[in-house]
Structure 1
Amino acid sequence: MIRHLPLRLAASLLTLAVVLQPAARATAAPAAKAPPAAAAGATVRLPHVSIRSVGTGSPVVLIPGLSSPAAVWDATVAQLSPRHRVIVVQVNGFGGDAPGANLSPGILDGVVADLHGYLARETLTKVALVGHSMGGLLALKTALAHPGDVGRIMIVDSLPFYGRLFGPQMTVAAIEPRARAMRDMMVARYGKPADPAADGALAAQMAATPAARDAVAAWVAKADMRVSGQAMYEDLTTDVSADLPRIIAPVTLVVPYNATLPQATVDALYRDAYKGTATLNVVEVADAAHFVMLDRPQVFAGALEDFLR
């Protein structure tokens, strides 16, 4: 574990708490009944998520990461919607919208339940599921809880247990006190003025280009810190590593590397983290940070087309 890997946690979790870091999993939420299908382009609001469907064709579900709005996928929606039904998920409380049920514990399980309810209502099965960061963990949890929903998975820079970034011997029990302290610090920031310097420093770790950094900083500033804090806590204290062999859908893992995080290091870390996955294809993207789709849009678009083929 090289000394730069803790920075990967900041990138992977998209949270101010890592920049400000101080030295029980949620119980499953009941599935929410989705309302009738909305008109194309309209947004369906559920307790834990808002979902927008654009285009027609084979379905592709896009899930953003922690504190990220659906806008992180705008270029991907434009790329895919002429040939696919693109279903974009946004966690309530991110992107400046109302938090809904996400002011209570159980955010991750609630998102999985809402997405399953939506797919069931729309009679969609075996969808292609693409998740970035926390969205990658949500994709894994969906495949484990509702295997019939998922036909294939693309995970963009995410781990089945983020604690691995602190060392291979880290456990949920060991990381829980730190995760709790970080959550409490984030929640305490709610209602206070944004800190542009902290947002900018975080964005610089997570994105490689100026435009991407500006977008990330703006998204972090708009997120409800109460939701981000609890979601981050649940993200850090979730470990599905032992369940990976149960995932029957093929998994494509997109991993960025750069001068700070060398290819050999991230390759070893991520391949070890996903060992046991039945079908795993690793796509490594050079000169990119956590927001691969923003840093290297053409490379990411090509990888996505390969994944869907």
Structure 2
Amino acid sequence: MTRLIALLPLLLSALLVALPGLASAQARERPFASERIVVETRGSGRDVILIPGLASTGDVWARTAARLDDDYRVHIVSIRGFGAVPPGRNQDGALVAPVAAELRRYIAERRLDRPAVIGHSMGGLVALQAAADAGRDRRNPIGRVMIVDATPFFPSLISPGATTGDVEPIAQIAYQALLLLGDAALRNQPTLIGRELGGAADSVFGSLGWQGGDRQVLAQGLYEVLTTDLRHRLPDIAAPVTVVYGWSPDDTNPRARLDALFQAGYRSLRAPARFERIEGAEHMVMIDQPTRFLAAVGRFLG
């Protein structure tokens, strides 16, 4: 438990990092009416869905979408309540499971044929939940899944034996702190927070730059990222899974030790996952190392 508390800043910083918004193109078809998500569609071809992480909007996928939309129909998701997107029903109750259900409704209503789904961070949890539900009920199947720097249970990356019960008190504190301080306070005092909580995350906290959003939605999202454990749902996933994550060859960087932890997290999949580590990337893999990430996406889409 002490180890979890000491390393909490490293986990939180990885989950909350994002970049300011970029301009997005106008949607080319009738908007999908939803109180959970907003979807922008561009290009034509096979369907690829991009899901951002905690406190990020679809803008973080700008470079990825620009590379793909000549050959694919790209569906760029923004979760309501993150960034400047109005929160809608995401202000009430759970977040990951309802957003995953809404993603599946989008796939059904748009009649997408076995789309590829790429989810980053919390968006990776949404992708795993949607793929598991699709595999279990065998409706509107997902063709393939790429998880970017996410695991079915995030705390397992810092303590392989951690349980939801271990993390619950920490998650409650984080939830209340975010409600009290708001995203602006967290953004303006990242180094101070890192020093007060301990651990080796000060430099990462110093570069914190997330897009913020509705305080209630952010707090709920952070709580669920810390406590959601989807490892028992992995056998339900029928689609092939690729896991991409940031990695460093520097032994002093915690990311140098992530290989075994990521592999252990996906051990119960029906078919073994394919793992790709992106050297030189931190949590925002697609922005930290765009060329290497796009090459991995190309291999994933085949």
Instruction: Report the TM range for the smaller structure's normalisation.
Output: 0.7 to 0.9
Cα distance, 1:44–1:10 mapped onto 2, change above 3 Å:
same
SS at match of 2:261: helix
SS at match of 1:9: helix
In structure 1, the residue matched to 2:11 is 9
Cα distance, 1:139–1:203 mapped onto 2, change above 3 Å:
farther
Cα distance, 1:267–1:52 mapped onto 2, change above 3 Å:
same
Q: Contact 1:132–1:156 (CA<8 Å) still a contact in 2?
A: yes
In structure 1, the residue matched to 2:280 is 287
The counterpart of 2:224, out of the listed 226, 234, 249, is: 234
The counterpart of 1:196, out of the listed 182, 188, 192, is: 188
CA distance in 2, matches of 1:110, 1:101: 10
In structure 1, the residue matched to 2:292 is 299
Cα distance, 1:203–1:109 mapped onto 2, change above 3 Å:
farther
Deviation digits for residues 114-171 of structure 1, max 9, x if unmatched? Answer: 1111111111131100000011111100001123431101100001001213422211
Q: Contact 1:206–1:289 (CA<8 Å) still a contact in 2?
A: no
Superposition TM-score, scaled by structure 2 size: 0.83
Q: Contact 2:54–2:222 (CA<8 Å) still a contact in 1?
A: yes
Deviation digits for residues 173-199 of structure 1, max 9, x if unmatched? Answer: 221121112111101224866743428
Question: How many residue pairs end up in the alignment?
Answer: 279
Aligned AA (2:299): D
User: Percent of aligned positions with the same letter in both sequences?
Assistant: 34
SS at match of 1:245: helix
CA distance in 1, matches of 2:58, 2:131: 21
Is structure 2 residue 73 aligned with structure 1 residue 74?
no
Residue 47 of structure 1, CA deviation: 1.1
Deviation digits for residues 92-118 of structure 1, max 9, x if unmatched? Answer: 011212111111112111111111111
CA distance in 2, matches of 1:138, 1:228: 15
CA distance in 2, matches of 1:190, 1:140: 28
Q: Contact 1:4–1:261 (CA<8 Å) still a contact in 2?
A: no
CA distance in 2, matches of 1:196, 1:47: 30
Aligned AA (2:15): L
CA distance in 1, matches of 2:115, 2:88: 26
Is structure 2 residue 161 aligned with structure 1 residue 162?
no
Deviation digits for residues 37-87 of structure 1, max 9, x if unmatched? Answer: x96166434111111111111000000000011100000110001111100
Q: Contact 1:157–1:254 (CA<8 Å) still a contact in 2?
A: yes
Q: Which runs of 5+ in 2 are unaligned?
A: 19-25, 195-200
Q: How does 1:1-309 map to 2 (within 5 A)?
A: 6-14=8-16, 40=28, 43-147=31-135, 148-190=140-182, 195-198=187-190, 205=204, 217=209, 219-220=210-211, 222-258=212-248, 259=250, 260-261=252-253, 265-277=257-269, 278-309=271-302
Aligned AA (1:47): E
SS at match of 2:277: strand
Residue 242 of structure 1, CA deviation: 2.1
Q: Contact 1:45–1:51 (CA<8 Å) still a contact in 2?
A: no
Cα distance, 1:206–1:130 mapped onto 2, change above 3 Å:
farther
CA distance in 2, matches of 1:270, 1:191: 29
Moved more, 43-52 or 228-237: 43-52
Cα distance, 1:194–1:183 mapped onto 2, change above 3 Å:
closer
Superposition TM-score, scaled by structure 1 size: 0.81
CA distance in 1, matches of 2:183, 2:11: 25
SS at match of 1:235: helix
